[in-house]
Structure 1
Amino acid sequence: MDESIYSKNTVEFVTVGVEFCSFIERAPELNRNDFIDTSIKILPLLYLKAVLLSETENDNDQITEHFVTEEIYEYIRGNIERLLRTHDSYLEVFQSDMQYSDTPIAASISEELTDIYQDIKDFVSTYSLGNEHSSGIALAICKENFISYWGQKLVNVLRALHNLRFSADTEENFDETEDENYMQNNSIFEQRQMLWKEENGLDEWDKWNNE
């Protein structure tokens, strides 16, 4: 038996991961201030629990099932983008591409959060199936990806969210005029989102979301 997948640190990471995914999925139900406030509280906890995970190895580079499809990814990302509107973009100064650029690179809060969500959702979904072998592989992959990929994304996006939460200008910028302009400029995207939901009847989404 692989005791690492049942260790205290792993169980706590799964618990926080499930809560993080549930929070991200509820984005359309939240207002922007609540979303930002909760994000800056749960992201540091997710980072801490990931750091405490045991070092595991994925022999033969095995893979597990992916639960977050491209359609689901875009649905999640679009919900967050529409919630943050013009505040979704921020300038990132800590990226590997920066060595080739003299100026900060534009990044997206919604994309960064959805990238993190995708990795966490795939892991907790595999873990919930109760297959010890698959759970061990998924745990190793998630830890490896944390170190090389989404851990850095997490701290990057946390800086941007911190700035939004405590910026004196943010509250003034969340106004009705901004909302109206954003909706006009993004009507095509929203129509495509609604069309996808109608075509799928949300049956696939609800089934996947409640697993």
Structure 2
Amino acid sequence: MENEQITQSKNVIDFFALVSEFCIYTNEVGNYSLNHILNFYQRILPMIYIKATFLPELNQEDVFAQTFMSDENFEEIMNEIRKKTNDVDFYYALENTLENEPGMVYSFAYDVALIYRYSKDFLNLFQQNLTTSKLSAIEYAKSTFISNWGKVLLRLQRNIHDNLYRTNLN
């Protein structure tokens, strides 16, 4: 498949649209109730996960993955999310279900902000008008999905499910 065909493929465009929607919503998270936030993330995160699995593995040698989001911006997003999710922010989860490890404490706000950071980096790189930048964005999204944020998303999804169906949130 030609490079241009890869960057314009349905799976890449669908992934782009989903992470765009996720980032727009996360930027405006302060406008919503906790229940609305949990419901939105419950619906969009699985779709992002599935679409990420369909991204091609390009094995690019010259992957240029620039981080666009500063640590200060990351903290701002995380704190804005935490203001809304404070009551359910910290949760326990097993890091490795294959080993006998005790659960670890995680932060809902941190996990969403982390997925947001990787999503923003992908979007900013993909929106550059160069095919090589778009290919780098795809490779970056796929490799970081495999190594990092895919696992975070799954752990977060379990927490969202537990919070939506275990308690009555208004």
The answer to whether TM tops 0.5 is yes
C-alpha change, 1:82 and 1:95, in structure 2 (3 Å) is farther
2:121 is the alignment partner of 1:110: no
RMSD: 1.8
| Partners of 2:93 and 2:105 within 8 A in 1 | yes
Q: How does 1:83-162 map to 2 (within 5 A)?
A: 83-95=84-96, 99=99, 102-162=101-161
Q: Structure 2, unaligned stretches of length 5 or more? A: none
**Counterpart code for 2:12:** T
> Which structure is higher in RCO with an 8 Å CA cutoff and minimum separation 6?
2
Find 2:42's aligned residue among 40, 47, 55.
40
Q: Distance in 2 between matches of 1:37 and 1:54?
A: 29
Q: Structure 1, unaligned stretches of length 5 or more? A: 175-211
Larger Rg: 1
- Aligned residue for 1:78, secondary structure, equals helix
**Counterpart code for 1:72:** N
Structure ranking higher in helix proportion: 1
Q: Distance in 1 between matches of 2:101 and 2:135?
A: 42
- Aligned residue for 2:120, secondary structure, equals helix
Q: What TM-score, normalized by structure 1, do the two folds share?
A: 0.75
**Counterpart code for 1:123:** F
Q: Which whole-Å deviations, capped at 9, do the CAs of 1:138-193 have from their partners, x for residues lacking one?
A: 2101101101110010010000011111113x43xx7xxxxxxxxxxxxxxxxxxx
Q: After TM superposition, what 4+ stretches of structure 1 lie above 4 angstroms from structure 2?
A: none
Q: How does 1:48-59 map to 2 (within 5 A)?
A: 48-59=50-61
| Partners of 1:64 and 1:137 within 8 A in 2 | yes
Give aligned-pair identity as a percent.
Answer: 24
